[in-house]
Structure 1
Amino acid sequence: MKRPINFKLILLTLAGFGGLAGLMVTAGLGNAQSINLPLQVAPVTVKNVVLQPSYSYSQRVLARVEALQSSAVGFDLSGLVTHVYVDEGSVVKKGDILARLDIERLEASKNEIKSSLARAKAEQRLAELSKNRLSKVVAKGLEPEQVLDEAMVNLDVAKASVAQINAQLLSLNVDIEKSNLVAAFDGTIIQRHLDPGVSVTAGQAVVSIQSDGQLELRASLPINLVNWLQRGDLVDFADNSQSAVLDRFITSQNTQTRTQDAFFRVNSSSWEGRSGQIVNLVVPVSQSANGVWIPVSALSGGIRGMWTVYVTEGDNELNVVPRIVEVVYSDEQRAFVSGALQNGDKLIIEGTQRIVPGQRVRIMEVE
């Protein structure tokens, strides 16, 4: 037995497919209309490209102010420190006594040596008298010449003994003199390392002194600046208050930081720097490279370390064309780039955020 056909169900199904088809057609038309909408003409600012064979920039380096002479000084001898005559901040002159060692034992040894010297001189006089007397006796033939030879040898021995003791006395006087620690140059005491009553070894630091008036700047320079700068080159302070001249390099390189120390002299006798002070120096640098300076804002990200810039082509409403460039040097505001740019190109430097390749633009300003 056949079942009756449900015409209502068929009609409802057909109506549903029809509605779906209508929606798809409508959506397709909408997309087609949005794709076909023309891009708006974007206003931009451009820069006329003029390629340069080199670029210059200023590189800042930190420099520390140092005294031209600075040293930790101590005695050449071991001994007990009895006096320290200076404190931190004391101003001293060359030759001033800074500290003193106990010299009681040295004085006792000196007295002993003086006694030995007096005895040796007496023996020398006796040997001279004997030699003179025997000379007369031998001349008369009363004594053999051998006796005179022995007298002359005894005199030579006595003279040598006197000379040896004199040398000992001189050495002892030097030790007594070295028991006074003396300033080797005019300067200021920057550190006192110990107090009286302390036993020190030879060379142990007692005070540290640095020279006054003569200051220099010490900077650790990267290799590119070491290769660029030459002795006598002039650099400026970052605040333009002073200038300084490169005086010398340390020939060895710091293997950890890959820097090399350089010393600069300030071009002003009235400059009042302080040892340990940090100053900023500005070093002018010039490098050979064919390119152009552009604002950093003109750069768009590229691939494989390269960057993209945009230039305009055509008349009136212009087309935008991308160009690939390499950033050779950059700072916070500008970059020196080289690559697919030519003299006369109109490079977009403002408004790049509003454009895409192929878009038409209108030049509002030329720099």
Structure 2
Amino acid sequence: MTVQRAKIFKAAGILAAVGIFSSILAARITAQSIPESGQSRSLPVRTTEVVLEHGYHAKRTFTGRAVPGRISQMAFELGGSVSAIAVDLGSRVKKGDTLAALDTARLAAQRAQLLAEQDEVKARLDLAERTLKRTQETYAQGHASAQNLDEAEANAISLRANQKRLEAAIAALDVDLTKSRITAPFDGVITARFLDEGTVVAAGTSIVEISENKRMEAHVGMPPKYAQAARDGAPIELRDGRRNTISGATLRSVVPSIEGQTRTMMVTFDLPTGTAARGELITAVVSDWEEAKGAWLPLRALSSDVRGLWRVNKIVDGPEGPHVQFENVQILYTDNNRVFVTGTISAGDQVIADGIERLAPGQRVTILPSSPEPRG
């Protein structure tokens, strides 16, 4: 039994040795089939041709807000007790609609008193004019003195002046009665209500705020350079808070003053009705032309280099065929998936468009069909 077990162990050992030898032989054969140098391999790559240009349109974005064309905080010119407020937050009003009113009982009483005085003066003036007429007749007949005539004329003149004074006082009181009501100066919506009925207010105290709802404006602060470009007709695109393009917006004005803190100039735009709500963020995209000699390349064609530079992989011909050569470039502008660069590249150079992480200087490559020109 022991001899049989020994034979089994011996056979197993022989089989194991044969397996190890076979593995080593296979590994050597495989190693011999793989090229010893990466230079002998040719990697397939896609390229893009360098097209030099004299400049680029740089898109700069600036953020502002939508504001109504007109905003008014409505107040009474007189002091008094507020008797009625006819609107609330969000109420839509038409020009001339009553917004609020003061208690006019005291003014009404004063007007009634003035009307009574006016009736009294009118009656006295009628008597004075009849007296003057009789005095003139008797004076002409020699039965009245000049003193009597002068007194009758003076009395009539005084009463006429008093009548005009009362008419002016009544007219002024009617103005006060009119100003005891606040009316909407334009079509709009009530965006604030500051107090309620029964409040005693002084002249000038704000009651409600009305904002125009038919005409909206966008107010955007821009550096003077871009504000000037906008005024000179540079293409401008406006976008609302949801990043949607606002069609039909037009430049309204450029305020010729620079804000002290932001160092920007206010640029205003007219917005079409219903395109933005009050306070909504508005983004202005200004397309400004920059003079610079360079080329557009795909962003994937660049890799970082030392000293803050970038590099691209240019294809050059060699004895063994096309291979990789590094060229340094500087990024002047980035637009989504493409960049405008300047550097040691020349017009007509073939630059590897992507897959640059697999490459090394001198790497042999096979050029596949060129990638289409990147678009922003």
TM-score, normalised with respect to structure 2 = 0.73
Partner of 1:185: 186
**Pair 1:274 & 2:303 matched:** no
Partner of 2:117: 116
Give the stretch that moved more between structures: 232-241 or 181-190: 232-241
Residues 73 and 302 (structure 1 numbering): CA distance in 2 closer, same or farther, change over 3 Å? same
**Pair 1:235 & 2:237 matched:** yes
Q: CA deviation at 1:68?
A: 2.9
Q: CA deviation at 1:108?
A: 2.0
Partner of 2:342: 338
Q: Identify the match of residue 263 of structure 2 among 243, 258, 261.
A: 258
Distance 1:260 1:361 in 2: 55
Distance 2:359 2:275 in 1: 55
Q: CA contact under 8 A between 1:46 and 1:363: conserved in structure 2?
A: no
Q: CA contact under 8 A between 2:324 and 2:359: conserved in structure 1?
A: no
Partner of 1:22: none
Paired AA for residue 314 in structure 2: V
Q: CA contact under 8 A between 1:298 and 1:349: conserved in structure 2?
A: yes
**Structure 2 gap ranges (5+):** 1-35, 372-376
Partner of 2:70: 69
Paired AA for residue 156 in structure 2: L
Q: CA contact under 8 A between 2:258 and 2:264: conserved in structure 1?
A: yes
Q: CA deviation at 1:79?
A: 0.7
Residues 288 and 216 (structure 1 numbering): CA distance in 2 closer, same or farther, change over 3 Å? same
Partner of 1:347: 351
Deviations 1:174-222, CA, capped at 9 Å, x for gaps: 1111111212222222222211111112221212222334333333334
Residues 263 and 42 (structure 1 numbering): CA distance in 2 closer, same or farther, change over 3 Å? farther
RMSD of Structure 2 on Structure 1 (CA): 3.3
Partner of 1:198: 199
Residues 199 and 128 (structure 1 numbering): CA distance in 2 closer, same or farther, change over 3 Å? same
Q: CA contact under 8 A between 1:116 and 1:165: conserved in structure 2?
A: yes
Distance 1:304 1:122 in 2: 104
Paired AA for residue 278 in structure 1: L
Paired AA for residue 327 in structure 1: I
Q: CA deviation at 1:300?
A: 4.4
Deviations 1:26-62, CA, capped at 9 Å, x for gaps: xxxxxxxxxxx97737745433221112212444444
TM-score, normalised with respect to structure 1 = 0.75
**Pair 1:288 & 2:291 matched:** yes
Deviations 1:240-295, CA, capped at 9 Å, x for gaps: 4744222333343333223333333345x6x4643333355544443332221123
Q: CA contact under 8 A between 1:231 and 1:247: conserved in structure 2?
A: no
Paired AA for residue 331 in structure 2: V
Residues 93 and 305 (structure 1 numbering): CA distance in 2 closer, same or farther, change over 3 Å? same
Partner of 1:18: none
Partner of 1:4: none
Paired AA for residue 190 in structure 1: T
Residues 228 and 280 (structure 1 numbering): CA distance in 2 closer, same or farther, change over 3 Å? same
Residues 62 and 91 (structure 1 numbering): CA distance in 2 closer, same or farther, change over 3 Å? same
Give the stretch that moved more between structures: 84-93 or 313-322: 313-322
Partner-residue secondary structure (3-state), 1:210: strand
Partner of 2:15: none
Distance 1:208 1:172 in 2: 27
Q: CA contact under 8 A between 2:215 and 2:271: conserved in structure 1?
A: no
Q: CA deviation at 1:173?
A: 1.0
Residues 234 and 156 (structure 1 numbering): CA distance in 2 closer, same or farther, change over 3 Å? farther
**Structure 1 gap ranges (5+):** 1-36
Partner of 2:16: none
**Pair 1:217 & 2:235 matched:** no
Paired AA for residue 102 in structure 2: L
Q: CA contact under 8 A between 2:50 and 2:295: conserved in structure 1?
A: yes
Partner of 2:81: 80
Deviations 1:79-112, CA, capped at 9 Å, x for gaps: 1111112222323222222211111221222122
Partner of 2:49: 48
Paired AA for residue 333 in structure 1: N
Partner-residue secondary structure (3-state), 2:135: helix
Partner-residue secondary structure (3-state), 1:290: strand
Partner-residue secondary structure (3-state), 2:365: strand
Partner-residue secondary structure (3-state), 1:350: coil
Give the stretch that moved more between structures: 192-201 or 42-51: 42-51
Q: CA contact under 8 A between 1:187 and 1:210: conserved in structure 2?
A: yes
1:123-162 residue pairs with structure 2 within 5 A? 123-143=124-144, 145=146, 147-162=148-163
Paired AA for residue 294 in structure 1: L
Partner-residue secondary structure (3-state), 2:342: strand
Distance 1:311 1:50 in 2: 14
Q: CA contact under 8 A between 1:234 and 1:244: conserved in structure 2?
A: no
Q: CA contact under 8 A between 1:59 and 1:285: conserved in structure 2?
A: yes
Partner of 1:244: 249
